[in-house]
Amino acid sequence: MAKDLKKFVNLTFLKTVDLTLMRRLLERHGAQLRRLDLTVFERKPGEVRKALMDFFAGPEDGYPDGLIADLHRIAELANQTGMRLLLERAAAAKVDLVPAAEAVDERQRLDSKHIALRAFLNHPAVFNAASDFLAIETRTSLTEFGGPDENVYPRMNEAVKAAFEREAKKLSSRI
């Protein structure tokens, strides 16, 4: 498995992850899963966790491409910066990522990995907004925003400003 995925799907995480969430993540790719039978989730939690550990200990080429993509996206926000962005976007959208009733029982599991997984599955708009903000924050240089053509200058007039404001308003209403 790729190094960043190994860091995300590690033993500590698998010992504490909400199995309902993990089941939902894996069910998204159920038809393509080859090395994990999803009926394992009907067993005792300890057996489920052991099966997940065995599955994720195996080679990445045994995972469906969609699962790999999902895990990479979740891992991208499964750190302190990602959690901050997720919580900010959730607050802006007036979304409670972890309802109070669940937070009491899950105190030990409210770390960045679990928040990222919850947001990915339960609040995709919040997750996508945080992912977009992360992309902006992690640019390596301003040249990433440069276009391929040189000597192209902006046209600033009232019509352009009004169009920009309309589009910005639409964008902020989705976040």
Find, among 108, 86, 74, the residue nearest to 5 by Cα: 74
Judge whether 35 lies within some domain.
yes
Domain count across the chain = 2
The reply to whether 100 and 158 lie within a common domain is no
pLDDT digits (tens, 9 = 90+) for 26-39: 999 988 888 889 99
Judge whether 155 lies within some domain.
yes
**Displacement of CA 148 from its chain's centroid (Å):** 31
Judge whether 144 lies within some domain.
no
Judge whether 145 lies within some domain.
no
The reply to whether 54 and 85 lie within a common domain is yes
Which residues form the domain of 94?
3-137
Judge whether 107 lies within some domain.
yes
The reply to whether 33 and 114 lie within a common domain is yes
pLDDT digits (tens, 9 = 90+) for 99-127: 766 665 554 457 889 999 999 999 999 99
Helices (H), the chain: 3-8, 11-16, 19-27, 45-57, 65-76, 80-92, 100-105, 112-122, 124-137, 158-174
The reply to whether 64 and 12 lie within a common domain is yes
What per-residue confidence (pLDDT) applies to 25? 95
